[in-house]
Chains A and B, each alone.
Chain A
Amino acid sequence: MLKLEKRLQQSKKWIYLSPFLAVVITMISGGILFTILGENPFEAIRIIFWDPLFDPNFASYSRPQLLVKAGPLILIAIGLSFGFKAGVWNIGAEGQYIMGAIFGAGLALAFYPMESKLIFPLMIIAGALGGFLWGMIPAFLKAKLNANEILVSLMLVYVAESILASVSQGLLKNPDGYGFPGSRNLQKYESAANVEIISNSGMHWGVLFAFITVIFSYIVLTRHIQGFNIQLTGEAPRAAKFAGVNPTANIVFCLGISGALAGLAGMFEVAGPSGQITIEFNSGYGFTAIIVAFLGRLHPVGILLSGLLIALTYIGGELAQLMLGLPGASIQLFQGMLLFFLLATDLFANYRVKIGTN
């Protein structure tokens, strides 16, 4: 018989070890999945995890894509990690991402065709503001009226998608677009374009922001009282209450920062890789970022690494679609399995597994 014994403190060793174990188990079960789908499992795993980075035919295209995909994931996941630590569950980052993009693109298009160095910084502020305001709705309803933030933030994703559909066919529609839905291409509007800082590296302003956010969040969590309050609220809510942590301030901070960062991610995406507001502008980064945050142990450096790994599965997945005709959804499944195995292997961090009876 297996017996579980609760550890008094989480095992440090297992906290670092379990993500790697989860990745290995995911690769094995992924291999089994690909075998069922009639593919050579070793080839499929190689195409997803190795070829995008090292195959001479693809690497020149896919290496920059790694940063392009990882940037928004890291930005959003860092924001989410604050709330997840404190037990504030914002799962509507997708909606905040959309609103950030709409605000950012809306500001740029309002100035079109004026050229000014101020437009891009203003767009950054607008993008963060859009996501922030969208995150404030569940924050306010939670803090003042006790409404569950999980459900409210999620419902707002569908509302944001409707707004996106509305503006891409109406308010922000390209007047020179021959009636097709979708806004002007911001990449062709010099003052608003989110360009690569180093050419052919994939390193655009959003990726730089993501890296800065990693450092910023590390400092907040380890050196700042707000970071301490967040961790205290998550681990010992009663102690936090006695210590005078203001729960409302905590909720507003967590949803505000995750909303603002998701909004930024949306704005950088619409001004850069995507280029325009369209009906299907959002691609699920807001949901995948939840996996990134957990896989990274809600730790800034962990999120940086897991963001890069999940970005790799996106690119590898596209490559596998191209080379093997694997459906795109199999990557989504792959990412979900990774989360499951991580949650399962977390058992070892929280419990001692003993063999034998007592």
Chain B
Amino acid sequence: MDFSSINPALLIASLMVSATPILLAAIGEAVVEKSGVLNLGVEGMMIVGAVVGFIIAVNTDAPLLGFICAAIVSGIFSMIFGILTQYLKSNQVATGLGLTLVGLGLSALLGRPYEGMKSPTLKALDIPFLGDIPVLGKMLFSHDLMIYFSVFIVAMVWWFLKFTHAGMVLRAVGENHDAAHALGYKVVRVRMLAIMFGGATSGLGGAYISLARVPQWTEGMTAGAGWIALAIVVFASWRPWRVLFGAYIFGGVTVLQLNLQAAGASIPVEYLSMSPYLITIVVLVIISSRGNQGAPASLGRPFHASS
């Protein structure tokens, strides 16, 4: 095998591409979980975003419009989960699983006529000066808009949770919904907004897979990315910058194993392709064995205002 065919600059660049879908989904889910809700439907919301983004982009030839529609539709789709769990008090685990199953079915149904087509992709931004820096320019400053936008969202979430009053309310709702309710905060409304935000970013993440990373539509193409995003939230101890870190590590592993496959490593392909999932388990175990620091105290618990 030939390691010299693996170019570190390109490796970093493609690492960012491969991490972005998971990053977008994970940062949204981190906000949802911070508000005390466990939405296991990330995979379903992502794949709905993937198919909607693809359909819109192919029909209008405007990939950016595809991303916007993906965010809107996945946000609406997540409201099924929101209404069921927040207003109809259904079990969050079961409802989240249901959302994933429905999302997979719905996307397969919608996307069938589009199998095998190619989508228009976002153009790489031509950043003057920065893009011309040798090595670093190619690595960090020649990406498409969505990659920078995903980092921007992480920064916004960090700022929102840490420095704004609304962010404090959201955290309070997630830590102790009964106390937050007693203080007069609208627990259900805060959670519905958080769920919708999580849906929208998951939709963006899904659309990034079908419009930028692959760019094609195939049934079930998210292939567990939503579940990995859930694991990354735990890995990150619900902190925004650590979500970014976790997603990029994961992206790195994925890209590296793809590069090793391409370079003809002596490890069988099947073992390489299972490695991202195995590493996710290992990381999850290491983090969890130290106790779940930072887990919102009301996470997954149903809320019913008795008065």
Asked if A pairs with B, the answer is yes
Are A350 and B89 neighbours in the complex by a CB distance under 8 Å? Answer: yes
16 contacts between A and B (CB under 8 A): A6-B306, A150-B40, A151-B281, A151-B284, A155-B277, A156-B281, A159-B278, A163-B274, A329-B112, A339-B97, A340-B102, A343-B90, A343-B98, A344-B84, A344-B90, A347-B89
Q: How far is the CB of A14 from chain B (nearest CB, A)?
A: 13
Alpha-carbon distance A316/B268, docked complex (angstroms)? 40
Closest partner residue, chain A, to B270 (CB atom):
A166
Which of A118-126, A140-148, A198-206 is found at the contact surface with chain B? Answer: A140-148
Interface bits A126-150 vs B (CB < 8 Å: 1, else 0):
0000000000000001000111101
Which B residues are CB-close (under 8 A) to A269? none
Interface bits B266-293 vs A (CB < 8 Å: 1, else 0):
0010110110011011001100110110
Are A147 and B284 neighbours in the complex by a CB distance under 8 Å? Answer: yes
Count contacts on A: residues with CB < 8 A to the other chain: 46
Which B residues are CB-close (under 8 A) to A162? 270-271, 273-274
Known: A6-B306, A159-B277, A162-B273. A346 touches B223 (CB 8 A): no
Closest partner residue, chain B, to A294 (CB atom):
B94
Are B101 and A339 neighbours in the complex by a CB distance under 8 Å? Answer: yes
Alpha-carbon distance A150/B97, docked complex (angstroms)? 10
Closest partner residue, chain B, to A146 (CB atom):
B288
Closest partner residue, chain A, to B111 (CB atom):
A329
A326-353 interface with B by 8 A CB criterion: 327-337, 339-340, 343-344, 346-347, 350-351
Alpha-carbon distance A344/B84, docked complex (angstroms)? 6
Which B residues are CB-close (under 8 A) to A147? 281, 284-285, 288-289
Q: How far is the CB of B169 from chain A (nearest CB, A)?
A: 23
Q: Which of A151, A165, A332, A343 has the most CB of B within 10 A?
A: A151
Alpha-carbon distance A86/B175, docked complex (angstroms)? 24
Asked if B304 is an interface residue, CB under 8 A from chain A, the answer is yes
Residues of B at the A interface (CB closer than 8 Å) are: 40, 80, 84, 88-91, 93-95, 97-98, 101-102, 104-109, 112, 219, 223-224, 227-228, 230-231, 234, 268, 270-271, 273-274, 277-278, 280-281, 284-285, 288-289, 291-292, 304, 306
Are B40 and A166 neighbours in the complex by a CB distance under 8 Å? Answer: no
Closest partner residue, chain B, to A329 (CB atom):
B108
Which B residues are CB-close (under 8 A) to A25? none
Are A158 and B223 neighbours in the complex by a CB distance under 8 Å? Answer: yes
Which A residues are CB-close (under 8 A) to B105? 329-336
A152-201 interface with B by 8 A CB criterion: 152, 154-159, 162-163, 165-166, 170
Q: Shortest 5 CB-CB distances between A and B: which pairs?
A: A329-B108, A332-B105, A336-B102, A333-B105, A162-B274
The secondary structure that dominates the B interface is helix
* 4 new A-B contacts at CB < 8 Å, known A4-B304, A89-B93, A148-B231: A151-B280, A328-B108, A336-B105, A347-B89
Query: How many cross-chain pairs have Cβ atoms below 8 Å apart between A and B?
Result: 133
Are B84 and A340 neighbours in the complex by a CB distance under 8 Å? Answer: yes
Asked if A320 is an interface residue, CB under 8 A from chain B, the answer is no
Q: How far is the CB of B292 from chain A (nearest CB, A)?
A: 7
Q: Which of A331, A332, A335, A350 has the most CB of B within 10 A?
A: A332
A310-335 interface with B by 8 A CB criterion: 327-335
Known: A163-B270, A290-B97. A145 touches B288 (CB 8 A): yes
Q: How far is the CB of B256 from chain A (nearest CB, A)?
A: 16
Alpha-carbon distance A205/B80, docked complex (angstroms)? 40
Q: Which of A6, A148, A163, A165 has the most CB of B within 10 A?
A: A148
Closest partner residue, chain B, to A351 (CB atom):
B89
Closest partner residue, chain B, to A330 (CB atom):
B109
Are B101 and A291 neighbours in the complex by a CB distance under 8 Å? Answer: yes
Which B residues are CB-close (under 8 A) to A344? 84, 88, 90
Q: How far is the CB of A10 from chain B (nearest CB, A)?
A: 12
Are A287 and B271 neighbours in the complex by a CB distance under 8 Å? Answer: no
Q: How far is the CB of B269 from chain A (nearest CB, A)?
A: 8
Known: A159-B278, A332-B101, A351-B89. A166 touches B108 (CB 8 A): no
Which B residues are CB-close (under 8 A) to A155? 224, 227-228, 231, 277-278, 280-281
Asked if A91 is an interface residue, CB under 8 A from chain B, the answer is yes
